[in-house]
Amino acid sequence: MNIEKFHISDFNDARKQAHDRNFQHISEKINHLNEVLEKLEEFQVAIPSWALGTGGTRFGRFSGGGEPRNLEEKITDIGLLHALNRSSGAVSLHIPWDIPENTSNIKALAAQYDIRFDAVNSNTFQDQPGQEYSYKFGSLHHTDKGVRQQAVEHNIEVIKYGVELGSNALSLWLADGSCFPGQLNFRGAFKRTYESLQEIYAALPEDWKLYIEYKAFEPNFYSTTIGDWGQSLLFANKLGPKAQTLVDLGHHLPNANIEQIVALLLMEGKLAGFHFNDSKYGDDDLTVGSINPYQLFLIFNELVEGMDARGMHHASDLGWMIDASHNVKDPLEDLLQSVEAIKIAYAQALLVDTKALQAAQQNNDAVAAQEILQQAYRTDVRPLVAQARLNAGGVLDPVAFYRQHKVRENLIKERGLKTVATGL
Ligand code: LRH
Ligand code: MN
Ligand code: MN
């Protein structure tokens, strides 16, 4: 469905008075209001091409209907999100789940919606029809040179697609690992992975980055060859300046201090960016901010402070992406909620009195430090985020607009009820 300018202005006009009151209330308390609003307006989070359909588990999948049936329809869906929140102006492709058959057409379609191509993701965790070797026992770490070569070539092919689309990063996640003690020689697996990564690294264009994602477990349940940030950072340091560590929030063992990991990677110039989601038990891929919004805020607090200290540009010097899956929610509503949660955490972090916090830290005043952080965290910043969206041409309340305009119902009419989008 097409969202016209008048749909947006009609919707906003009806809510403007109530919004103005809330905005007025919060804006009086913020000295650097314009700076905060500008940063929020500029901030974009990429939408993964694999998260626009209903997700599922190995026990079942329950489609809500109207899912995008091809890459064009996925881009259209992201265009819809971006029209509403003005913060979803990028797409991250997973290849071969989403192969752009005609890159210039896809590029033109994306440009129509003001969408750029974020990092491209390779896939060596599933066997594809017609492929010579199997990834059953891994890809880049495999004991068989033929399998490693096939996986390296796939990554190089993904870079080529990315170059055509105007992307500038390859995001790499390996399922490589082992399920049982003794199955794998850890040092051998590490060395073989390093050799394979060197070949991929050598194929990166000048201005490209290699994002190395880590994950504690799954699909392997005894060891993962890039199982934590230490292993990822080892590879990134050995490979060179283009290689960095990607933090997927769901890829840690329970209760890991992710904000500390983020702070140190940032300090070392080795933080690639994020795959945002939330989790309670493992790699649950739940809506961002739905389980532990305080952790998300603490991460953003480290980001704001650390990026400012390094003179980094918030919106463009890291890769920002959602990596969530939607089992029981409408994927588009879920993505709107995730983007909103990210912007709320970011806005709260922008309100932290950094100087006062540094003074409290210097004086070992744990009480004052907590007061300062929670003062920001407990501020209802939703009117700020809404105002930034309004300034950028979006709607005051994206989920309400989506429901009022019966977007899903229209998509079902257009695409049918029995639809399966490629992806998770
Ligand atoms: C692995 C992962 C990785 C994949 C995506 C589909 O759990 O987070 O980023 O590319 O899921
Ligand atoms: Mn991920
Ligand atoms: Mn994951």
Amino acid 100: pLDDT:
93
Among 174, 226, 275, the mutation site with the greatest number of ligand 1 atoms within 8 A of its Cβ is 275
Measured in Å, residue 214 CA sits from the centre of ligand 3 at 9
Residues 303, 314: Cα–Cα separation, whole Å: 8
Q: What's the CA-to-centroid distance between 284 and ligand 1, angstroms? A: 11
Per-residue confidence band for 57, with pLDDT thresholds at 50, 70 and 90: confident
Instruction: List the residue whose alpha carbon is closest to atom 9 of ligand 1.
Output: 173
Shortest-distance atom of ligand 1 to CA 213: 9
**What is the mean pLDDT of the segment spanning 383-403?**
98
CA of 220 to the centre of ligand 3 (A): 13
Residue range 170-200, pLDDT digits in tens: 999 999 999 999 999 999 999 999 999 999 9
pLDDT of residue 424: 64
Which residues lie near ion ligand 3 (Cβ < 5 Å)? 283
In short, whether 121's Cβ falls inside 6 Å of ligand 1 is yes
Paired sense of beta strands 120-121 and 90-92, if any: unpaired
User: Cβ of 20: how many Cβ atoms within 10 Å?
Assistant: 12
Residue 340 exposure: Cα atoms within 13 Å on the Cβ side = 24
User: Cβ(424) to ligand 1 under 6 A?
Assistant: yes
Stated as kind and residue range, the H or E segment containing 192 is helix 186-202
* Ligand 1: residue whose CA is nearest its atom 7: 283
Residue 63: the pLDDT is 84
pLDDT tens by residue, 322-361 = 999 998 999 999 999 999 999 999 999 999 999 999 999 9
- pLDDT for residue 391 is more than 70: yes
Instruction: Determine the residue type at 318.
Output: L
- CATH numbers and ranges of domains, the chain: 5-415 (3.20.20.150)
For residue 215, how far is its CA from the centre of ligand 1 (angstroms)? 9
**What ipTM goes with this model?**
0.99
Please count the helices (runs of H) and the strands (runs of E) in the chain: 15, 11
For residue 317, pLDDT over 90 is answered with yes
Q: pLDDT tens for residues 214-240? A: 999 999 999 999 999 999 999 999 999
Q: Rounded to an integer, what distance in angstroms lies between the CA atom of residue 309 and that of residue 67?
A: 43
Is there an atom of ligand 1 within 6 Å of 340 CB?
no
Q: Which of 118, 139, 213 to mutate to test the pocket of ligand 1 (most atoms within 8 A of CB)?
A: 213
Reading the block at residue 305, the tokens are 């402070």
DSSP-derived secondary structure for 141-183 = T-SSHHHHHHHHHHHHHHHHHHHHHT--EEEEE---EESSTTS
Q: How far is CA 93 from CA 64, 165, 174, 253, 271, in A?
A: 22, 10, 16, 27, 20
Distance (angstroms) between ligand 1 centre and the Cα of 173 equals 6
Residue 62 clears pLDDT 80, i.e. is over it = yes
pLDDT reported for residue 423:
67
Confidence class for position 290, pLDDT limits 50, 70, 90: very high
Q: Cα dist. 347→25, 54, 177 in Å?
A: 16, 29, 38
Q: Which pLDDT score, from 0 to 100, does residue 418 have?
A: 79
Alpha helices (H) along 219-274: 229-239, 258-267
Instruction: Give the pLDDT confidence score for residue 54 in this predicted structure.
Output: 87
pLDDT at residue 157, as a whole number: 98
Average pLDDT over residues 278-296: 97
Which tens digit of pLDDT belongs to each residue from 108-124?
999 999 999 999 999 99
